Amino acid sequence: MNVQKIISEMTLEEKAQLCSGSNFWFTQNIDRLGVPAVMMTDGPCGLRKQTMNADHLGMNESVKAISYPTGSCVACSFDRELIRRSGEALGEECQAEDVAVLLGPAVNIKRSPLCGRNFEYFSEDPFLAGEMAAAYIQGVQSKSIGTSLKHFAGNSQELRRMTSDSVIDERTLREIYLPAFETAVKEAKPWTVMCSYNKLNGEFASESHRLLTEILRDEWGFEGAVVSDWGAVNERPAGVAAGLDLEMPGPGELSTKKILKAVESGALSEEAVTLAAQRVLELIYKYLGNRTEGVTFDYEGHHEMARRMAAESMVLLKNQDSVLPISKEKTVAFIGQFAQRPRFQGGGSSHVNSYKVTGAVEAAKGLNITYAPGFSEDGITADETLAVEAEQAAKSADCAVVFIGLPEAWESEGFDRSHLRLPECQEKLVERVAAVQPNTVVVVHCGGAIEMPWLESAKAVLYAYLGGEAVGGATVDVLFGDVNPSGKLAETFPVQLEDNPSYLYYFGEGDRVEYREGVFVGYRYYDKKKQRVLFPFGHGLSYTRFEYSGLTLDRTEMQDTDSLQVSVKVKNIGNVAGKEIVQLYVGDDESTVKRPLRELKGFEKVELAPGEEKAVTFSLGKRAFAYYNTQISDWHVESGEFTIYVGPSSRDLPCCAKVRVESTQPIRKMFSLNSTIGDLMADPRGQQIMGQMMQGAGMGDLSKAGGDIMGAEAMLAMVKDMPLRNIISMGSLFSGQSIDPESIQALIDGMNA
């Protein structure tokens, strides 16, 4: 279809109409020119296609679809290929339902474990989130279905999400909150990007020319359409000027009138309206031009895929005395309502009308299982009769598995959590069962991190997250050893909420939310501070053991324009086949700016038979060593030594090696009268000149200048921090001589030349 021809035949009013949807889910049709409407609908962890009574909070029913594991769950797989295949399955379902764009993936960073929408988001780490998002997009779009990368940007809480102002300094924005979007845009080229509700540094994301045009398009090369989150538009003409192409939902009669009035007054150019309309048309015909009629898909096959995804993503947090896997010959008590009716998805716009839901009790048919509900159906209310029944079931079995988790009323889009605890009745149930049954296993169904005051009571903990409609079968697969767990935490679990770096500032004051923790988000903070955590980022156990050895770098010195090849050997030294997620971190040994101790810069999932060893390789470019330098508005590597760490988690890194990186973009420090003597002495030229000048003024032997009043070390420290201007006025205190101002200024001019 010739989009340019259609654009040339459109009136200004028709172009303006095309900049808004026609209703809740569809773009605007232009009947006069034969332009049809196409449908967008919610993801990202399952198709939520509503045919009537549309909403964006998941209240009204949608068509039957497969509910896949949520983002927080599947990210723990660290498996790009698995996520890509799930994207393909979702793409097939969209083709079958005539949906043009699936609204996902969601890549916002988990600034705090309280965020109500964390179950949708991949990680606290931008590198991992970006890699997962790119794989998801590639999978969906391989089926000629568009994706909508969201929520761009700085959307880290649900409280006042439509009006809050995320105040984020430029370095933090570039290093933490933008990279996942950048990676996904550059590597996977999503058809659309969805702007967020919130303001970013005082400006609504929907009206930010810097965000939607300068960064997204000019810097990153995005070529698709920018879509608003549903109801995110503040002033439509300002949005068009900024680069927001499509406002959702519709109808947008008021916005159309505002656009026309703005063009008429000269406040908005017609060219901007034409460009937005053209991008919407390109989106429509990109789908229609690749539409496949009569597509069907295998519901049962996709349900089984959801089961495999959940099993690959679950994280075995604890396994004392190797209580797991459970022998199928043993008698086992399944305890807790979630064993029969699992909590498997989040609330709100991602809520799927599931094809079918399999609980663990149903999936374990044929095994020696007894079941006791343990607590009330709402998951919140204690029931003494049910608790006593659970104790009796646990006593009578060889082991007990207690299924607990957050009720949906405590975790959903639209609001944030107020604490990290489970309902009291569930926490007490774990302790009561463990008191009568020494072999107690806990399965947790949650969208994010929780506190675990009951942890010592449990022999094993399997974190199932929100594992989709087939989570019951996947849980049974892992509990009884048909699947060896291989998930690793994509977020840090703090001991308590108060340990989180954003704790004091998370909800902000009124609409203003200051990201005062800066780049120290998640493990970047905990590891730098040596803070005790419940479970570190990247942690996850297996039914086998892995050994790391032979870390090698292809060079020990390099320029920042070079790439570094890293290789490490991983061996399965246990008795069963398993998969290990090999994680690579990079740390700057000595930096002039405050940086994390180390940061994730590579990961690979490798499958190994017992006794098998494989070499895992990584390639690291400039960005693996760089920080964002706001002085030059670019990524910058400081010359110096860096340490490459490899291992199974951010706090278990048995292999390390060093490489020296030379910067090809040295940043020259400019000096002034307020520069310190220490500043000059850090520069080789300044050290030589300053030494000669101080000798000439009789200040060469500073170790004796303090006499009996202060020691040499204290004197040197004081002089190091002295501004150059003070040499003029205070130099005579040390030597009885003065240094003239012209000499100091000449020194400064020479250093700055």
Residues catalogued as catalytic: 229
In whole angstroms, what is the distance from residue 552 CA to residue 10 CA? Answer: 62
Torsion of CA 264, 269, 272, 273, to 10 degrees: 10
Distances in Å between the Cα of 715 and the Cα atoms of 88, 689, 706, 707 are 68, 20, 6, 9
Number of Cβ atoms within 10 Å of the Cβ of 554: 14
In whole angstroms, what is the distance from residue 355 CA to residue 302 CA? Answer: 10
* Maximum separation of any 2 CA atoms in the chain, in Å: 96
| Nearest of 25, 146, 82, 93 to residue 354 by alpha carbon | 93
| Nearest of 248, 204, 256, 223 to residue 146 by alpha carbon | 223
CB 464 within 8 A of CB 401: no
CB 701 within 8 A of CB 672: no
Residue ranges of alpha helices (H) inside 314-423 are 337-340, 360-363, 384-395
Residue ranges of alpha helices (H) inside 65-222 are 71-74, 80-96, 126-141, 170-172, 179-188, 209
Distances in Å between the Cα of 724 and the Cα atoms of 369, 614, 748 are 79, 58, 9
In whole angstroms, what is the distance from residue 636 CA to residue 640 CA? Answer: 12
| The residue to which tokens 């969201």 are assigned | 150
Give the three-state DSSP class for 152.
strand
Give the three-state DSSP class for 496.
coil
At 35, which amino acid appears?
Answer: V
CB 627 within 8 A of CB 595: yes
Give the three-state DSSP class for 483.
coil
